[in-house]
Each structure stands twice: as structure tokens, then as C-alpha cells.
Copies of this chain bind each other. A is one copy, B any other.
Amino acid sequence: MNDVKAGPEEEWVKSGEVRISDLAAELGLTKGTVSRALNGYEDISKKTRKRVMEAATKRGYVPTTQARRLAMGLTETIGLVLPPMPSQPVNTFISEFIHSVSAALHLHGYDLLVHSANSEESEVEPYRRLVQSRKVDGFIIFRTNEKDPRVNYLLNEGFPFVTHGRTARMAEHDWFDIDGEKAFRDATSHLIKLGHQRIGFVGGGKEFFSAQLRLKGFRTMLEESCLEKVPSLEQPGDLTGQGGEIAAQNLLKQTRPPTAILCANDATALGVMKAARELGFNIPEELSVIGYDGIALGAYIDPPLTTLTFSIEESGKEMVNLLMRRLKSPDLPVISKLASAILKLRGSEGPPSSIQNKNMENCL
């Protein structure tokens, strides 16, 4: 169990009880020399370096992060602020995202500080505190709004960050996003090819920029396909299951309900499916539903949820890369990365039950 075999004269110390000064004393060197040897400076004799290295491993020396960071003037820590709790109950996306970001940061020797916002205070307050107390070197922000106070604050402070999602000021900061417009064009097109002519859309709140782009993709494809645009088929949502339920009721209680519904995210789609079942609609026979995010549990419901998705692991990596670059060279020009989502067919969509053979010629 315990792999420590203490020699006869050797006294064992608990982890982290060895200081750099101890090593120095033991080796008859100074702290400075030991430090440089350990940190791979060139101006150290091979012999000395070897001695130092060996002593370090032997005594189990590991530098104290706090002290090193203070001396170097950085925290090697990135902040991630979670949105207030109750708003996102049905969301595996967040934990998957945290995981991927944390793993990616770790490769760069950075830590992830997770902070939870409470709904009573302003959205920027947590960021302000973290910046002022200098607990982090940068932020990862997700689910951006078009006019995002967090972005405004950080840009104003000149504090490094990357967003997952675009904003009105996207020309001024690094960002990563998934091309939701294209994704929704694809999904809409898919539904149209299946024969759907009345397609509903449940959005994500007009502050949430990416949701706007998804709506845009939806509308664009409708136009290209000469389907009439019915305003009542576009419902607002809030990216939660509950929001989906309400929107679905508004859609399905209409005299001519849609035969398919596109949702701004998977949580919304789950709510839509729930409401649909309660109103007696069979999925996918009487109603097709498509979500967005690709959360894993979508595969475990009945029927499995067809969704638009992009690897969360990839997203995390990309964002971390952008952020690391920014930290290393603050003055580099802003860059961004736009990834394409994939339509993952799982079974919650299909041809409409009664295909009305309306004229479907290409309008051009």
C-alpha cells in the first residue's frame, strides 16, 4: 500500500514539507542556483544540475505554486462562471463543457476556477470580483448575449477572455462558435426534403445571440424553398425544458399545427417532446422534433432525439487554445473560430404523416 521505504537514517516527510531552501542547504548551494537548475536555465553546469535534480526527486521536492505564482506575477488560473442554478436544470452540456475545458487547461499547466453566480446580483459582479482580487488570468465565457455586459466589462478592463458564442463586439475579442445558422439551414432543409411544409421553431431568447443566428438559418432556408413564412410558427424560448413546453403548447394548439419543430437546444426539445406527448402527438409520426447541442442523454429518451451537434471536447480545446495564445501575446490581433455542427439523426424526425402534395418545385 505504502510505497515509501524509508532508509535507516532517512526521515520521511509529508508531501510538500521540503522547501527550496532545504535543498539548497543540503547541497551547499544557494536558493537561486537551485531554482535555476530546476527551471532549466542554461547557465548551470551539467554536474550541478544533475545533483540538484536528484536531490529534488529524492526528497520529493515540488515547488509551492502560490509562491511561484506570486513571484512571477500570474495566477495560472482561468475563471469560469456558471449561470445561476435554477435556470439550467436539464443540462448535461455544462458538466461536459467544464470537463473538457479543465482537461485542456491542465495540459498548459493552468487551473480552472469555477465560480457560481447567484441570481440576485448583477451578471458582471462575479467577474469584477475575480478580476479585482486577481484570482484569475483570464476567463472563459459561454452562452454570450448579443449585448453582453460581461464582455463589455472585460473589454473595458483590458482583461483576457474567450467566448463561446458571438457578440455584438465580436470584432474586438477572441471567440469560438458553432455555425448555428448553417446548422439550422441544414436541419430545415432536411425536414423539407422529408416533406414537411409547416415547420415550427422554438428560439432561445433574443438576448442570446447564437439563438438569433439559428433563427436566421431557419428563415433563410424557408425562403429558399418557397415555403410561406408563418409568424405564429416562430415561438420564443429560454433554452430550458420548461420554456420548450410552453412554446410547444402555443404551437400545437393552433388550428393548423406544425408537423415538425426545430428547437434552439436539446433542453428545449425535451420540453417540446414532453408537451407534445401530453397533447397526444406521436413522435415522430405526427410530429418531428430536432434539437441542438447533442447532449448524451438525448440518445436515451424515446424516441432518441435527433440533434445538431459539435464535439464539446473539441470546443473546450479550441477555446483554451485561443485563450492561451492571448495570454502569451496580449497584443496579437483578435481571432475566431467557427465550427460546423453535424446533424445527428436519431429518430425523433421523419416524414409527415399526411404528405400533402403541394407544389414543391424549386422557386428559382
Among the listed B60, B158, B301, which residue makes an inter-chain contact with A302, where contact means beta carbons less than 8 Å apart?
A: B301
Contact at B302–A133, with CB atoms within 8 Å? no
Contact at A89–B296, with CB atoms within 8 Å? yes
Contact at A102–B115, with CB atoms within 8 Å? yes
Interface status of A193 (Cβ within 8 A of chain B): no
Which residues from B are CB-within-8-Å of A159? 15
Contact at B133–A114, with CB atoms within 8 Å? no
In the complex, which of the residues A14, A133, A270 has the most CB atoms of chain B within 10 Å of its own CB atom? A133
Instruction: Tell whether A99 pairs with B112 under 8 Å between CB atoms, given A64-B133, A90-B92, A273-B302.
Output: no
Among the listed B90, B94, B115, which residue makes an inter-chain contact with A106, where contact means beta carbons less than 8 Å apart?
A: B115
Stretch at the interface among A30-38, A67-75, A229-237, A325-333: A67-75
Among the listed B15, B75, B102, B106, which residue makes an inter-chain contact with A66, where contact means beta carbons less than 8 Å apart?
A: B75
Contact at A65–B133, with CB atoms within 8 Å? yes
**Chain B nearest CB, measured from A99 CB (Å):** 5
Which residues from B are CB-within-8-Å of A156? 2
Digit string of A296-333 for contact with B (CB within 8 Å is 1, else 0)? Answer: 11011110000000000100000000000000000000
Q: Which of A263-290 contact B (CB under 8 A)?
A: 270-271, 273-274, 277
Q: Which of A51-99 contact B (CB under 8 A)?
A: 60, 62-67, 69-70, 75, 77, 82, 85, 89-92, 94-96, 98-99
Among the listed B77, B85, B99, B302, which residue makes an inter-chain contact with A103, where contact means beta carbons less than 8 Å apart?
A: B85
Contact at A102–B116, with CB atoms within 8 Å? yes
What CA separation (Å) do A27 and B211 show in the bound complex? 52
What CA separation (Å) do A132 and B89 show in the bound complex? 36
What CA separation (Å) do A313 and B89 show in the bound complex? 12
Interface status of A128 (Cβ within 8 A of chain B): yes
Which residues from B are CB-within-8-Å of A112? 113-115
Contact at A65–B135, with CB atoms within 8 Å? yes
Closest chain B residue to A152, Cβ basis: B1
Digit string of A128-153 for contact with B (CB within 8 Å is 1, else 0)? Answer: 10011111000000000000000010
Contact at B66–A134, with CB atoms within 8 Å? yes
What CA separation (Å) do A100 and B86 show in the bound complex? 11
Contact at B297–A241, with CB atoms within 8 Å? yes
Contact at A15–B132, with CB atoms within 8 Å? yes
Among the listed B65, B113, B157, which residue makes an inter-chain contact with A134, where contact means beta carbons less than 8 Å apart?
A: B65
**Chain B nearest CB, measured from A196 CB (Å):** 22
Contact at B102–A134, with CB atoms within 8 Å? no
Among the listed B75, B111, B274, which residue makes an inter-chain contact with A300, where contact means beta carbons less than 8 Å apart?
A: B274
Instruction: Tell whether A85 pairs with B100 under 8 Å between CB atoms, given A16-B131, A111-B135, A114-B112.
Output: yes
Which 4 pairs, one residue from A and one from B, show the smallest C-beta to C-beta distance?
A89-B296, A95-B95, A62-B132, A270-B300
27 contacts between A and B (CB under 8 A): A1-B152, A15-B132, A16-B134, A66-B69, A66-B75, A66-B135, A77-B113, A82-B99, A85-B99, A85-B100, A89-B92, A89-B96, A94-B95, A98-B114, A103-B116, A106-B115, A111-B135, A113-B113, A241-B296, A241-B297, A270-B300, A270-B301, A273-B300, A274-B301, A277-B302, A297-B297, A301-B302
Interface residues of A (CB under 8 A from B): 1-2, 14-16, 60, 62-67, 69-70, 75, 77, 82, 85, 89-92, 94-96, 98-100, 102-103, 106, 111-116, 118, 128, 131-135, 152, 156-159, 241, 270-271, 273-274, 277, 296-297, 299-302, 313
